Amino acid sequence: MRTGIFLNYAGGFLEAVDEVVELEKIGVDIALVAEAYSYDAISQLGFLAAKTSRIELATGVVPIYIRTPTLLAMTAAGLDYVSDGRFRLGIGTSGPQVMEGFHGVPFDAPLGRTREVVDICRQVWRRERVKYDGKYYQVPLPADKGTGLGKPLQLINHPVRDRIPITIAALGPKNVELTAEIAEGWQPVFFQPDKADDVWGDSLRAGFAKRDPDLGPLDIMVSAPLAIGDDVDDRLAWAKPQLALYIGGMGARGKNFYHNLATSYGYGDVANHLQDLYLDGKKAEAIEAVPDELVRNVSLVGPRGFIKERIAAYAEAGVTTLLLQPLSGDRHESMRYVEELQSLLP
């Protein structure tokens, strides 16, 4: 099982870079930069590439709606070049609240668009003249939709790799099935290992049945808040704002993927309560209402023995990469948590 680190898109980036440099020295395998309604992930990853030499770098994730497929491919190839082949493209759809509310673009056809984006990216990286006649993307643009002057082009540069790994953030059954079919990696959020097969097992198996063997095994990359010790229960509260925001506030009633996930874990009443509070503007009360049990089930917070049991549960659920989010304001303590977790890995 690999270890990774998730950079907080709302935190101090320069300080986080210094931490990544230290984490690279102790053997952390991958660093991810998220992108929401924040600084973009790409510029920060270019900076990280210059400051590191071994650790894999990834978007975790960039939304597919706000960049053309060819721009995503160009950007990934550029980051793979400046990092000397260390980049992984993490993509996702985000949700209507961010896409429509912040970017002003429609949130439509997530499955179809994701498949076509992946197809086009791989054409670009193989330096083919891009010719794609999809339902959602047509390259070149047909004459009846443009000037008629567009001709198939290939990437001028020769990429470091002709297939950059793609990770897809997916939660819904059909999205997860598609990910298991076409991607090198899957990045679910708020992953509860003992519930994973009930929620996603059928979708994963259906996707694997159609998977090209050349893709290799699916890298299941799971984020987990981290604090190790006999007296770290207070850190559970540190993870509650994110859960409250996503379950309660990331979408309207009936259109919140994270609310649906919490419900599938058996927290339907809690999810409804959090959503009522958050959408009524009672954010502090929503945070307070997140149960400790829910946080503990989707994190690595507790004594060494408990953490070791949880690692085994993640492994049993098929997790291959743990993306750690140390719950600490002190860099030395964060580093200690990560090193201690590494010592517990099988």
E strand spans, 47-193: 56-59, 62-63, 87-92, 132-133, 138-139, 166-168, 185-186
Average pLDDT, the chain: 95
Taking only the tens place, the pLDDT of each residue in 43-76 is 999 999 999 999 999 999 999 999 999 999 999 9
* Angle in degrees, 0-180, between the axes of helices 196-209 and 257-264, rounded to the nearest 10: 110
| Assessment of whether the complete model's pTM goes beyond 0.75 | yes
Reported as a single tens digit per residue, the pLDDT across 294-314 is 999 999 999 999 999 999 999
* pLDDT confidence bin for 336, thresholds 50/70/90: very high
Structure tokens given for 282 = 């009672």
Token pair, residue 117, equals 């984006």
Per-residue model confidence as pLDDT tens digits over 14-25 = 888 888 999 999
Residue-level pLDDT at 12: 78
CB 24 within 8 A of CB 340: no
Lookup: tokens for 100 = 């429509």
Convert the pLDDT of each residue in 237-278 to its tens digit: 999 999 999 999 988 888 899 999 999 999 999 999 999 999
* Side-chain half-sphere exposure of 152, counting CA atoms within 13 A: 11
Segment 114-145, tens digit of pLDDT: 999 999 999 999 999 999 999 999 999 999 99
Spatial neighbors of 303 by CB under 8 A, at least 6 apart, are 228, 229, 230
Both tokens of 211, joined, read 């998977």
> Is the per-residue pLDDT at 97 higher than 90?
no
| Rounded mean pLDDT, 3-23 | 86
Answer for the pair 3, 23: CB distance below 8 angstroms, yes or no: no
**pLDDT at residue 41 in the model:** 93
pLDDT band, residue 10 (cuts 50/70/90)? low
- Is the pLDDT at 8 greater than 90? The verdict is no
> Per-residue pLDDT tens for 187-220?
999 999 999 999 999 999 999 999 999 999 999 9
Domains of the chain: 2-226+303-344 (3.20.20.30), 233-298 (no CATH)
